Chains A and B, each alone.
Chain A
């Protein structure tokens, strides 16, 4: 089904990490409002391939809003104009016929561009490796799951924090390119659970140290991260992480 929307796209093209990039203009006709944003880019790419040109490179995978692979800054906003929606779940009916749409990669020092709209977000993996876990090996003789009782409210809060998809929108939205929302979501998930309390001190110190090391900026409470987070991860997590971090700083190194 083809549609009736005509659009002008201004897309960031950059051959590789070292190359200088620029915005290039593409005209799209017959866009269907039922297409997802990425399906619209698929159509553009098919047209480019037909013209023997190189298609636009972007990260994407599940297209169900959960894997966190898709990114993009659309008209200046990570994941585009609709709140609580990833780029892959954004549909063209949210745009108007005749619109000009600017599509750029995430901009943050710790997320270098690989090509076009694709960036390197491995910094998040390294932060996770620094402490984003509970130190428990796979046990052949684990304790029964219901032997740990967890207050429903805490379980629900931990879940809300754990619903972070690691997409990087928080850092991309932040004027300081701070990763605090991402890091605090992980710190909070574990801090709220009795299993995670055991090494809470170590965890928050190590994760924050790695975050600083990666070149992310500081949090200055602008709140842009919460607004742009496609999963609605709350700023309350940053407050909790600050408390955890402050408390940890009074505990001597073990």
Chain B
């Protein structure tokens, strides 16, 4: 193992590591905190909670975000919930069980110590959010309610209808704005980070573009915190926001941070299927729907074909002719298997010709049974004797509406179909990237003083993230991990004093940034950014998507190289560099995706096994499950940028050591 990939895991038993760490970490006293500037990039759950917490501690925070307000980052779109080890439901949950489920869900490709810490602080997150006034769902006794999510056999998910991410982010944003009011956070809205400035091996600043004026600006700090989310938009169609991008992370990679497990992408099983070429994004239907919805396709191929041709309706297929394939294949977890398993199972049925929708690329998610079940319970509670079918339906519909109303409404808006009557149609779509910037236990990247949080880093979810764990990780990193670990580094910075942005290193990086913008503007070719973005996305989806082979990956690398060359020759960006110019913003992001996509394919090619969301078709068990090769691939791949092309990237490996967990074939049967 090269020394730079030392994860700095504290000594001692797993359950004591975090406490030991906190008890011995170096601190910065309050008077010295006031002398230290921290730059935070991104204001989703990870960045927003970090910025607020660091400012509360007394550091001077500058926060940068491309949106017009810190309240809009894409964490806001998370629907279903947030996991915590509270065990309020008395169903056997514990820190260990949450830890174990997460390690297993990640198919044994995450770091034990990081994941254990995540499980340990998860309960505090709920406490903190309640203290902030986050209106979680409650029962009539006034206590918090829970629901179940995939990959777990306990109910540990806290939620606020189908808008949990919104409520958590608004809680975080209120803490953030409180510090803005106190002058401890300076917000820079509509500012996009384009590069990182490293001085004597330490992150010292960033170069950003003011998206309203087009000016290139410099900011300095004693530490730089990246919380810029994931890179799912490399696929063009994903559940990410339109502006979600990988550029800040990519620039940091090019300045020396290693990029870990780039090929680990989560394809979420329950999204609204694609309808046409005009489609700009895909919309998720929360995993929480799998609590109550049953997934099926027709048992008979002729029924599937009749549905595809519009000759039959799903409601005309009797129960005995429905194949509830998840319940059939995975009786122990049923519809609540982890996302990677559910997605592949949907693809398997559709590839075999049993898909529904005119394209054959959809499966049903049916609430008929939940409506009947809830209706029955309600009728019983109301003391209705011999209720009619309609009464049961009406009562059941009300319960389902209360639980998932906003999701059903969204579905109807998009598809013009009423999911209370006709089953929803769903298909897998790109949702989350487990890969990201490599960080150690302290969340520091391989560049000193540069940290990565939330989806932006790689650390906690291995090869597959469990539902309701992204919110948990984002807030764990921002509220509880970074505020405790950053002082270990900043303790050496108390004598540094303000860092001038006139240093030659700032000059040099700014020059690079301006040169690239100039280049993008001066190509003056014939094709739009979006046209390139869509073509890249097609390559990624078809060849680096749910099923990958040596051949598809080799082809993808060649095709992306060619597309990249064409991009730099034939791109057309309208407007000016020194003004508001959304096409220019997109051009920079797509330019980076052209390299990042290739690295994802290179990483997938180098991993000759299947694990979690990384499914190499050559490596599967007889019944089509991912077949891991732990002897050769139980490591974190960490890529280093070398020279001036992604072709030269070098692979380093951080071995994964499992002390507490027994590594075994994942089974949800």
Binding site for B on A (CB under 8 A): 1-2, 16, 32, 34-36, 38-40, 42-43, 46, 48-50, 52-55, 57, 59-69, 84-85, 89-91, 93, 114-115, 118, 120-122, 124-125, 128-130, 132-140, 142-146, 148-152, 155-156, 158-159, 162-163, 165-166, 189-190, 193, 195-196
Give CA–CA (A133, B69) in the complex, Å: 16
Partner of A136, one of B49, B132, B528, B531: B132
- Could you pull out 25 A-B pairs where Cβ atoms are within 8 angstroms? A1-B278, A2-B278, A16-B580, A34-B278, A57-B580, A61-B72, A61-B241, A62-B241, A63-B281, A64-B77, A66-B165, A118-B580, A121-B69, A122-B69, A128-B177, A129-B180, A138-B52, A138-B53, A138-B175, A138-B483, A139-B124, A145-B86, A152-B140, A189-B135, A195-B132
Whether the Cβ atoms of B163 and A163 lie closer than 8 Å is yes
Chain A residues with CB under 8 Å of B414's CB are 36, 89, 91
User: Is there an interface contact between A49 and B583, defined as CB atoms closer than 8 Å?
Assistant: yes
Q: Shortest CB–CB separation between residue A125 and chain B, in angstroms?
A: 5
CB distance from A82 to the nearest CB of B (A): 8
Task: Please state if B142 and A152 are interface contacts (CB–CB under 8 Å).
Answer: yes
- The reply on B277 being an interface residue by CB < 8 A is yes
Question: CB distance A138 to B479 under 8 Å?
Answer: yes
Q: Residues of B contacting A43 with CB < 8 Å? A: 278
Known: A61-B74, A93-B416. A136 touches B131 (CB 8 A): yes
Q: How far is the CA of A177 from the CA of B528 in the complex (A)?
A: 38
Given contacts A52-B574, A67-B72, A67-B74, 6 further A-B contacts (CB under 8 A): A43-B278, A49-B583, A67-B73, A68-B72, A114-B580, A133-B175
Binary A-proximity of B181-223 (CB < 8 A = 1, otherwise 0) = 1000001010000000000000000000000100000000000
Contact: B410 with A65, CB < 8 Å?
A: yes
Q: List the interface of chain B (C-beta within 8 A of A).
A: 49, 52-53, 56, 67-74, 76-77, 86, 88, 124, 126-133, 135-144, 160-161, 163, 165-167, 170, 173-175, 177-178, 180-181, 187, 189, 212, 241-243, 275-281, 283-284, 409-410, 413-414, 416, 479-480, 483, 528, 530-531, 572, 574-575, 579-580, 582-583
Interchain CB contact under 8 A, A150 and B173: no
Q: When the two chains form their complex, are residues A57 and B582 in contact, meaning their CB atoms are under 8 A apart? A: yes
Expressed in whole angstroms, the minimum distance between the Cβ of B209 and any Cβ of chain A is: 15
Do the beta carbons of A91 and B583 come within 8 Å of each other?
no
A137 surroundings in chain B (CB, below 8 A):
53, 56
Is B177 within 8 A of A125, CB to CB? yes
Q: Which residue of A lies closest to B121 (CB)?
A: A140
Q: With A49-B528, A66-B76 as given contacts, are A125 and B70 in contact (CB-CB < 8 Å)?
A: yes
- For B213, the closest partner residue in chain A by CB is A16
Give Cα distance in the complex from A57 to B68, angstroms: 14
Contact B242 A138 (CB under 8 A): no
- B67 near A1 with CB under 8 A, answer no
In the complex, residue of chain A having the shortest beta-carbon distance to the beta carbon of B240: A62
How far does the alpha carbon of A133 sit from the alpha carbon of B166 in the complex, in Å? 15
Given contacts A32-B278, A114-B212, A163-B163, contact A67 B131 (CB under 8 A): no
Contacts of A133 in B (CB 8 A): 132, 174-175, 177-178
Known contacts A149-B141, A150-B142; is A69 also within 8 Å of B131 by CB? no
- Contact at A66–B77, with CB atoms within 8 Å? yes
In the complex, which residues of chain B have a beta carbon less than 8 angstroms from the beta carbon of A124?
69
A residues near B88, Cβ cutoff 8 Å: 146
The residues of B that contact A189 with a CB separation of less than 8 Å are 133, 135
Q: Is the CB of A61 within 8 A of B278?
A: no
Q: Could you say which of A68, A162, A165, A189 has the most chain B C-beta atoms within 10 Å of its C-beta? A: A162
Assess whether B135 is in contact with A149, with CB atoms less than 8 Å apart: no
Chain A residues whose C-beta falls within 8 Å of the C-beta of B139 in the assembled complex: 152
What are the 3 A-B residue pairs with the smallest beta carbon separation, nearest first? A1-B276, A149-B142, A142-B127
A138 to B413, CA, bound (A): 39
* Nearest CB of A to B449, in Å: 22
The docked-state distance in angstroms from the alpha carbon of A67 to that of B124 is 26
Could you say which residues of chain A place their CB within 8 Å of the CB of B170?
Answer: 162
Per the bound structure, the CA–CA distance linking A121 and B52 in Å amounts to 21
Q: Which of these, B71, B135, B243, B572, contacts A166 with CB under 8 Å?
A: B71
Residues in B with CB closer than 8 Å to A144 are: 127
Closest to B276 in A: A1
Closest partner residue, chain A, to B281 (CB atom): A63
B68→A150 contact, CB < 8 A: no
B68/A62 in contact, CB under 8 A: no
Greatest chain B CB density within 10 A among A138, A144, A193 is at A138
Known: A59-B68, A62-B241, A132-B177. A149 touches B143 (CB 8 A): yes
